[in-house]
Structure 1
Amino acid sequence: MRTPHVVAVMGVAGTGKTTIGPLLAARLGVPYAEGDEFHPQANIDKMSAGIPLDDADRWPWLDAIGTWADGRHGLGGVVSCSALKRSYRDRLRATAPGIVFLHLTGTRELIEDRMSHRRGHFMPAALLDSQFATLQPLQADEAGVCVDVSGSPEEIAERAVRALAALPDTPQ
């Protein structure tokens, strides 16, 4: 990519944001930030109890991610963030206008299978339906790309690099 972008790796739980994000960051030579680490403890407690977050829970989290992304302006970076709704992506863009999105996509069956093999993660597979119900895929007017999550993490990261490289240069 010619301009150092900040890439938000988005998608429902279980698509591999935390796995693909660091691989992508390494390939792009930029730092990675784990979006889950921006959640206040109250959000983690709520999700751990199987309770989906509402928008009021998400605003401070999105603002913290946006602030990190804006701080990487012109330098580049990769951050994981579910960014399931257009309004969430709009909020991130309001703080970090040059942010681009990498939407990791896959079948519900594949994602549920991957989630069933995770250990120690606060997001239970039981919340997957709420994630899919909330998801508003990237629109044509949003800077970003979609990449399928079938295959190995290395294959997915390589597809992501190629897809992002094909994006027109967006000003940071």
Structure 2
Amino acid sequence: MKLLVVAPALGPLGSGAAGGVELTLVNLVAGLLQRGHAITVLAAEGSQLPGDCAAAALWTCSGSPQATAQHQGREAPIAMPADGLLHRFWGRVLAEGPAAGFEAVLNLGYDWLPLWLTPTAPLPLFHLVSMGSVNAAMDGAIAELARWDQRRLAFHTASQAADFALPQPPVLVGNGFDLSAYVFCAEPEPLLGWV
């Protein structure tokens, strides 16, 4: 398949601005490339893909980063900067995606705009929802899209998906960590961490 993967509109890939979603994107792209898919990544200007993603094409856009959903209030309205990456990303997807021959678009950002565009887009849009409920407007957009066609949504865990009003059981997609990038420690320090 020829796929377009849209990064979060939070800053350049490689900067860490998108947190764990950057790791998800890199592992996803590397895995899809290994399976013979043709992948293009759409990300902020200044983005870099690691070596195991070198076969992917990279489209970039300039603009201001989107505010992160988890740092907004629960009742905060949807807002986009006038020169924002988010609407530039999705303007490019809609304008150039069909002519580029993409069979589908995978959105990794947690943003209202791509969810809202999905039913009327000229090519299939799919969304990997990376967070639980943090904003009422996003909850509404996810529920509305799920009522239209829940196959367009996937989640990382059942407990995360349970935050949303879904009419059917969710599609779950794990992060698929490359375990060769980590070293097992049989005697760890007395620290606790979680994802």
Normalised TM-score (structure 2) = 0.42
Pick 1 or 2: higher relative contact order, CA cutoff 8 A, min separation 6: 1
Which is higher, the Rg of structure 1 or of structure 2? 2
Q: Higher helix share goes to which structure? A: 1
